[in-house]
A and B are shown apart, each in its own frame.
Chain A
Amino acid sequence: MKRQGQGQATVELALVLPVLLLYSLSILAVGQIMGEYRAVRASASQAAYAAARAPSLAAANAVGRQAAADALAGTGVQGTTVTVEAGTFPRGGVVTVRTEAYVDLGAYPLVRDYLGRRFRLSWTAHQLIEPYRSRQPS
């Protein structure tokens, strides 16, 4: 260190620190994103499951929205939109549920600059409408 000057260690640190910081913040951000993505997927697929066995179109919409909201309760996702599409709800038809939301990456300084402050997540689930579903709510 004596011959190369006091500045070298500082320069090296200045070069390495942003990289290490970016790396460690990325691990945390990816961990959070994957955790929220899990909730978004669960939201769409459970809404589709629940809606496909509902007795009527109105019930399918209500139950699907409820299931989607339940799956997202307590998570950090924001700006959620859930669409339940079942046409006329015929037996043997298909229910499609799409959940869209975003994760706010504001807490991750460098990561938000390259991933964007709002990291968008979405999932679409399809479920066969029960061919033998009841039309009478029980």
Chain B
Amino acid sequence: MRGGSPGQGMVEFALTFPVLMLLAIASAQVAIVLHVAGSLDTAAREGAFQAALAGQGPSDGAAAARQLWERLEPGAPVAVDVRRAGRQITVVASASAPALFPVPAPPFTRFGLTARATHTVETFESGSRP
């Protein structure tokens, strides 16, 4: 500032501030997306676990996944698809993370996320012992 004109510092600040803000928003956005991805993983895994228990089926798994998701991310929409192929139960859960700074262009409005969880269906053998 010694030799610069009086307003120079302010002008430089005004130029730099938006860039720094953008970087701060970007880091927060990454954190939010990862957080929602973690919730979705947990819900899908719980759904697969419940669906694969003896005496329960795909609809129980879907209900369990939805219920856990509702507790982790209240009010957020989620799509849960539970499929059984042979002895495998697969839960595919899809949801989206909110954009902190919504720009009306497709990749920035919402961040779509998908989680898959696979589990083997429990079967009992009569007379089995540990």
| A interface residue numbers (CB < 8 A to B) | 1-4, 12, 16, 20, 23-24, 27-28, 30-31, 34-35, 38, 42, 45-46, 49-55, 63, 66-67, 70-71, 91-92, 130-138
Contacts and interface: CB of A to CB of B under 8 A. Distances in A.
B30 interface: yes
Interface residues of B, number: 37
B51 to A, nearest CB: 12
Contacts of A34: 30, 34
A115 B130 CA distance: 47
A37 to B, nearest CB: 9
Contacts of A27: 23, 26-27, 30
Report whether over half of chain B's contact residues are helix, strand or loop; otherwise say mixed: mixed
Interface of B: 3-5, 8, 12, 16, 19, 23, 26-27, 30, 33-34, 37-38, 41, 45, 48-49, 52, 87-88, 90, 115-125, 128-130
B130 A38 contact: no
A67 B5 contact: no
